[in-house]
């Protein structure tokens, strides 16, 4: 039964929730991955098939998932944007050939400069911001359009945090709360070494030097995100989210990069085998994060990545409160309401999606009634400490090296 509430009152479900988001995931390939039992089990049952939608731009697509709102509402139109020279504002990018010409002209005149989609462009709250506003402990690691991180609320390790930890220097709002930076900076050498070790151990060199380089580069990035999540200090949180881009980067590089059309059948087969190996790597790297605990729900959220023909995604749930029979269809707009339902948050009536209560045990779903508030309100915009050198150009260069921008 739906219940109306007037505030962001949490009715505890007694569970903590971990959300692992994997980009570039092909459901059919994962079903064939004999050496990836956890991933294979996740896609074979107790899940919701996410209807195909536009995932060509990851910043836009994953902000839709994080907010439960479509792009024309949440405001993130694309990964690339423009900043006004000398100011901390953004200029909405125009589409099409004319928009590209205008952008090139203003860049040439140094009136604007290329930049990456940011939190400043987003017009609605993410699910972790809603959770923090309601008093829940939350953390998000490496999600698109999270920079600059606001100083209040939960833990935010933005999409620029890895770059900042590599570059060092003063923060430019890459991590919140700001004092967490010192903790992660101290742990950074061991985080990176463990990530390299995991990638090397589970992705032994095969198929040639270039193939190994691509796979290990992606694996080190994913393992780094997992290790940063594991390094976050207590107390235990009610909601954790982490975004893993490595499979999408590897898939995009190996299957759509320059020279792909000229590959021999054997070379193409080696690349496909390499991607199969990547599923095995993910299965092992995620094992500690996906471990069963009595009071913890784990959601595995996968999307097909930057493919020409949008494919299906998947939302799988594991834990004592998971349904043993659920096999339903849903949309990307249903994911944020489902996360809210799982941790006892009311739903905003502005959200177009619905909570996927069928994914939960009937007794849990019966006790955890769906409650509503009129709105979650607009995102707050507190001034984040930004003493460090902005990493705009470094971020563009990093994304270019990973195949996100040209």
CATH number listed for the domain at residues 3-74+124-401: 3.40.720.10
Strand order in the sheet with 80-84: 90-91, 80-84, 112-116
Q: Which helix (H) or strand (E) holds 313?
A: strand 313-318
pTM of the predicted protein model: 0.91
End-to-end CA distance of the chain: 50
From first to last of its 406 residues, what are the pLDDT tens digits of the chain?
A: 465 655 788 888 888 999 999 999 988 777 766 677 778 777 776 689 999 999 989 999 999 999 999 999 999 999 988 665 554 555 555 455 544 444 544 444 444 567 899 999 999 999 999 999 999 999 999 999 999 998 888 999 999 999 999 999 999 999 999 999 999 999 999 999 999 999 998 887 766 888 999 999 999 999 999 999 999 998 999 999 999 999 999 999 998 866 666 788 888 888 888 998 999 999 999 988 887 788 899 999 999 999 888 889 999 998 888 887 767 999 999 999 999 999 999 999 999 999 999 999 988 888 888 999 999 999 876 667 778 888 988 999 999 999 998 7
DSSP string, 210-242: HHHHHHHHHHHHHHHHHHHHHH--SSPPSEEEE
Domain ranges of the chain: 3-74+124-401, 80-116
Residue 169 CA to its chain's centroid (Å): 25
């Amino acid at each position: 039964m739906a219940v109306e509430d007037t505030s962001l009152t949490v009715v505890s479900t007694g569970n903590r929730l971990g959300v692992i988001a994997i980009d570039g995931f092909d459901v059919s390939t994962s079903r064939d991955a004999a050496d990836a039992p956890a991933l294979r089990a996740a896609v074979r049952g107790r899940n919701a098939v996410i209807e195909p939608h536009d995932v060509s731009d990851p910043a836009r697509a994953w902000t839709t998932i994080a907010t439960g709102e479509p792009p024309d509402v949440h405001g993130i139109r694309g990964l690339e944007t423009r900043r006004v020279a000398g100011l901390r504002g953004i200029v909405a990018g125009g589409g099409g050939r004319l928009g590209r010409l205008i952008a090139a002209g203003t860049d040439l005149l140094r009136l604007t400069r290329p930049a990456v989609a940011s939190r400043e462009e987003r017009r609605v709250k993410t699910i972790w911001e809603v959770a923090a506003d309601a008093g829940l402990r939350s953390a998000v690691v490496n999600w698109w359009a999270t920079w600059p991180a606001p100083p209040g609320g939960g833990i935010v390790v933005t999409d620029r945090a890895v770059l900042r930890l590599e570059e060092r220097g003063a923060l430019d709002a890459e991590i919140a709360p700001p004092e967490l930076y010192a903790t992660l900076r101290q742990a950074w050498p061991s985080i990176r070494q463990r990530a390299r070790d995991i990638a090397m151990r589970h992705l032994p060199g095969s198929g040639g030097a270039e193939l190994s380089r691509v796979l290990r580069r992606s694996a080190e990035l994913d393992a780094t995100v997992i290790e940063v999540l594991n390094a976050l200090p207590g107390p235990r949180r009610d909601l954790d989210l982490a975004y893993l881009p490595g499979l999408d980067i590897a898939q995009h590089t190996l299957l759509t990069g320059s020279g792909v059309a000229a590959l021999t059948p054997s070379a193409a087969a080696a690349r496909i085998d390499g991607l199969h190996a990547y599923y095995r790597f993910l299965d092992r790297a995620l094992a500690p994060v996906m471990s069963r605990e009595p009071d913890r729900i784990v959601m595995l959220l996968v999307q097909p990545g930057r493919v020409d023909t949008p494919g299906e995604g998947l939302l799988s749930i594991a834990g004592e409160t998971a349904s043993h029979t659920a096999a339903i269809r849903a949309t990307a707009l249903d994911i944020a309401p489902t996360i809210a339902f799982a941790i006892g948050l009311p739903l905003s009536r502005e959200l177009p999606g619905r909570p996927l209560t069928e994914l939960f045990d009937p007794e849990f779903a019966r006790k955890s009634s769906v409650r509503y508030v009129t709105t979650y309100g607009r995102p707050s915009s507190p001034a984040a400490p930004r003493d460090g050198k902005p990493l705009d150009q470094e971020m563009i260069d990093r994304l270019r090296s990973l195949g996100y921008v040209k």
